[in-house]
Chains A and B, each alone.
Chain A
Amino acid sequence: MTEPFLKDVLSWIIVAAMLGSALRMVFHKNVMHSAAYLAVTLVGTAGLFFLLYAEFVGISQLLVYAGAVVVLVLIAVMASTKTYARMELTGPAQTGTAAIGVLALAALMIYLSFRTAWNTSGLKPYISTKGGDITPIGEGILIQYVLAFELASFILLGALIGAIVLIRKEPEDAP
């Protein structure tokens, strides 16, 4: 399960860009810049997906996250412009507690992941035939997980209608 050297270097470059822009996103006082850094992180994640041979998920990530969600966030930021350029944080007690807890959680998860003996013998080969990995993903969605797939469509419909109802202005000449 050794990867080519160049691919490893590319992975680490993408990871560095992702982590750096995620930190900048959280700690930037301008929400607009934070949205831009979020976009960088999401595109980097798509790059990691491509390097993991998950092309369909990577393209979905680019379309859904880096396309739709970032645009939604930008619209929300632009529609609520009053809180620009001010770093609003919760109190120092909560900030400190959150920092300690989050660092402990990260250390614990990384420690456990390196301590666990993963069974990585079955490294998935790259499917280079026509269609790539879309065929098994489509079969999985439409055969094994078809109930979850239908439920997801209902959730999307509910979210669509809910968002429209929430955002709708009351008519001016309402009785």
Chain B
Amino acid sequence: MTLEHYIAVGSILFCIGLYGALVRKNFVLILMSIELMLNAVNINLVAFSRFINNAAYDGQIFALFIMIIAASEAAVGLAILLAIFRNTGLIETDSVRSMKG
């Protein structure tokens, strides 16, 4: 596989995740789709790090940072989700119509 193939794979994965985040109503599915999008970006970064520059490891380091952000995003997002579920009994986007608790 060449660099273009890796970028194509990352693009397709990103678009699948974007479609899931736009189309599904379940909060868990939306969060999983966002994880998929971040993951697709990681594929691109690691592929760049291998194919483009001879000495630098910047791509892999950026991928590690994205991993950190994704982990904390998942933790906080799922905590918010469980708080919403505790208040409304639903985990769909329609269940959150007001900001009042």
Contact = CB atoms under 8 A, between A and B. Distances in A.
Interface of A is mostly: helix
B28 A76 contact: yes
Given A31-B29, A160-B72, 18 more contacts: A25-B36, A35-B32, A42-B39, A52-B47, A57-B46, A69-B70, A80-B28, A80-B91, A89-B23, A95-B23, A98-B19, A110-B11, A110-B12, A114-B4, A124-B49, A155-B68, A155-B72, A166-B82
Interface size class on chain B is 35 or more
Interface in B1-50: 1-4, 6-9, 11-20, 22-26, 28-29, 31-33, 35-36, 39, 42-43, 46-47, 49-50
Interface in A97-123: 98-99, 102-103, 105-106, 109-110, 113-114, 118-120, 122-123
A41 B76 contact: no
Interface of chain B, helix or strand or loop or mixed?
Answer: helix
A120 B2 contact: yes
A26 B90 contact: no
A130 interface: no
Contact of A65 (B39, B46, B82): B39
Contacts of A102: 15-16, 18-19, 22
Contacts of A137: 57, 60-61, 64
Interface in B59-94: 60-61, 63-65, 67-76, 78-83, 85, 89-92
A174 interface: no
Contacts of A113: 3-4, 7-8, 11
Contact of B75 (A45, A77, A82, A160): A160
